[in-house]
Amino acid sequence: MSPSTGTDTESAQQKYEADSEGPAPGIISPAPDGGARAWLVVAGSASIFFSCLGFMNSFGVFQEYYTTNQLRGESPDKVAWIGSLMSFLQFAGGAIAGPLFDRYGTWVVRPGAVLYVLGLVMTSLCTRYWQFMLAQGVLTGLAMSMLQVPAFAAVAQCFDKKRAAAMGLVVSGSSIGGIVFPIALSKMLNDSALGFGWSVRIMALVVAPLLAFSCATVAPRLPPRRTNFFILSAFRDVKYVALVFAMFCCMIGMFTPLFFLPSYAVTRGVNPTLASYLLAIVNGASTFGRIIPGLLADKYGRLNTFGLGGIATGIVVLCLNSATSTAGLVVYSIVLGFTSGTIISGVSAAISICTDDPRNLGTYMGMGMAVGSSAALVGPPVNGVLVDKYGGFLQVSIFSGVVCLFGGILVVVTKLTTPQGLFGKV
């Protein structure tokens, strides 16, 4: 190749990066879609979601425990702010963690792991509302964001044709964590002499080696992206904006049962310990709801699967008050777990179709989750106010169910912006 040709190529590459705020996709090697390194990334990422989102999914146990113990003088909506802030920050912080991972790789994950364990230890020492808010709400939420979005981005770089299935396996780690944490916490808090402090510290001891494994395995496959920190041009894409708003709506419905199902079950006469186990049932069922739809999404379309999951979850949330007996609540928890399991893994796989360059995936996911995560900040406190005002859960189920249903429908409508159209496999 002559010197002039080389200069022209470099100029074209620089012009592409200036116009698209990212590197040219032509220079990217294809994703391996398997192999030892790729599956180690999946295992490490699943360990992150077991430790982080699995713990978040058990906040209903804390909600019920706080309102009857350390924070018994506080209203349900005020207590719910602790969990909602943690949920919000674990996704909103991705707006920074995603671009940082695209630039610095594993060096984002390692401090996040240390801060997360520290946040759990500090939570175990709390006795007052502002302490819980800072330790559990702020510190653990920010630490989660430094772990989860990089985990998604690392997996997305290693898989293309099997991306939705791989992400389903990763997020299924949170389902397993959602089984372990509620059962273990409920047993230690309600049926042992350990007390709150040691119960939470034991959880920190459980996640520490898992996060150490993640620090050793979760790493980017591709060289770092060196262009603009944020890719603001993404928000000029109608498809991307619609998917982010759909995620906002679906998350309002998805988080409601995780916060209030144990409290609702207690009002129906269920033993508090058994009521806490309902979260474990939800998360156990969501294991299948995340893996199976992930496999189907790669074959029948990522938007199809995500949209159907949002619609189904909205319908199930609308039926909350129909579960009145212990048996009914168990069945309800199984169905809810399966339908809602598609949302987190589904939205990540769906957002990944918005960029052709896998080096941008961390930034795209981080920015999208940061905007959509405001649902976790708004939804639970609003539902807490509804519970406090009406003394029941009918209004909660109607509000959250309708919003989630709208989100699922919006995903289906978004297909109109794709070349495949409304009935295509996309």
CATH number, domain containing residue 159: 1.20.1250.20
Q: Is residue 100 part of a domain?
A: yes
- In sequence order, the 6+-apart residues with CB closer than 8 A to the CB of 364 are 98, 231, 234, 240, 351, 352, 354, 355
Sequence-distant (≥ 6) Cβ neighbours of residue 193 within 8 angstroms: none
- Looking at residue 292, its amino acid is I
Tell me the chain's radius of gyration from C-alpha atoms.
Answer: 21
Residue 156 corresponds to which tokens in the numbers above? 């997305």
Residue 24 located in a structural domain: no
- Determine the average pLDDT of the residues in 49-55: 88
CA 100 – CA 107 distance, rounded (Å): 9
Evaluate if residue 15 carries a pLDDT over 50: no
Question: Minimal CA–CA distance to 373: which of 170, 166, 142, 167?
Answer: 142
In total, how many domains does the chain have?
A: 1
Q: What local confidence, expressed as pLDDT, does residue 194 receive?
A: 84
- Residue 313: inside a domain: yes
- Please report where in the chains the tokens 């790669």 appear, as a residue: 298
Tell how far CA 318 is from the center of its chain: 22
Alpha-carbon distances, residue 202 vs 49, 54, 184, 276, 303 (angstroms): 18, 15, 10, 18, 40
Within-domain flag for 21: no
Residue 18 lies in a domain: no
Lowest-pLDDT choice from 27-31, 208-212, 239-243, 334-338: 27-31
Any domain includes 15: no
Residue 285: predicted pLDDT: 86
Secondary structure (3-state) at 21: coil
Encoded tokens for 222: 């591709």
Tell me which of 181 and 10 has the higher pLDDT.
Answer: 181
Q: For the segment 387-406, what is each residue's pLDDT rounded down to a tens digit?
A: 888 888 899 899 999 999 99
150 in a structural domain = yes
Q: Are 91 and 376 a contacting pair, CB within 8 Å?
A: yes
Domain-located, residue 10: no
For the stretch 115-165, pLDDT in tens is 999 999 999 999 899 999 999 999 999 999 899 888 888 888 888 888 878
Domain region containing 41: 33-219+228-417
- Measured at the CA of 266, the angle between CA 262 and CA 267, to 5 degrees, comes to 120
d(CA 135, CA 84): 13
Is 10 a residue whose pLDDT tops 70? no
Distance of alpha carbon 198 from alpha carbon 200, whole angstroms: 5
Over residues 334-369, the pLDDT tens digits come to 999 888 888 877 887 788 788 777 777 778 888 887
Work out the burial of residue 364: count CB atoms within 10 Å of its CB; fewer than 13 is exposed, 13-18 middle, 19 or more buried: buried
Residue 11 pLDDT greater than 50, yes or no: no
d(CA 164, CA 321): 33
- Given a contact cutoff of 8 angstroms between Cβ atoms, the answer to whether 140 and 207 are in contact is no
DSSP state, residue 225? P
Q: Are 57 and 290 in contact (CB under 8 A)?
A: no
Looking at residue 227, its pLDDT comes to 66
